[in-house]
Structure 1
């Protein structure tokens, strides 16, 4: 694929149609960045190798839920995840910083506690998010009777209105 600015993105795929390599290049064919992708037997991505030599690896639990994500190199990190019996994420530990999640009976996210910074969520009867309150910064959403988002009022001010063509 060639972009308007002359840069290219060349994808290579395996027999299952998954990306195995992506090379982004300038118009003179100089590589900007490249990535190599590997998958496990069920199709989960297990590794992304960057042209710089950095690598992100992924491991999964018995239910194929992401359990760990590790990155090597200058921007190294190590993130682990746990889940409840129905697949809701319960915890995320990112290089020692812990985030916990709580859900209602409908498995809707109610709270996210990131090392003491609490975010709460409310929903309408159809499960559409109505408010997100991040430590007092409230974002509100409105929805149509067809469950299409109509407006978003970010905590930072302003308003975004959605329109649909059909």
Structure 2
């Protein structure tokens, strides 16, 4: 009898040395991805940046900004071929836990109304829409609104 070992999944801090891999994921999932400058600036600002690796390969990441008792999820991305496998949920749980440990009681984010996969994930975790930012995102034909979602962080919220 042989045992099949599942690849090791780790969520680890990411930094400047990971930007090329982050850009590869980002450019594969968004028509208007973050730029290298967006990632450089976020890491330089000290935002909480974590990556999910499977057998050493980056499959997703998030960038979280903490300010007093509020956290803002700036980016959460999972490589297209790895979506639907639970990595987004794993990263979101990690972000929520980290935000709570950092003193946040609320987690905010913006999401495109057209991003059905992300909306499904956030709604599964109990995020509620609290607003709309008109013409927030670049789009193929002009601009697209952003839905502003909020989640109260409690010990049992993840």
**Could you tell me the TM-score, scaled by structure 1's length?**
0.28
Q: State the structure with more CA Rg.
A: 1
Greater per-residue helix proportion: 2
Structure 2 length normalisation: TM-score? 0.29
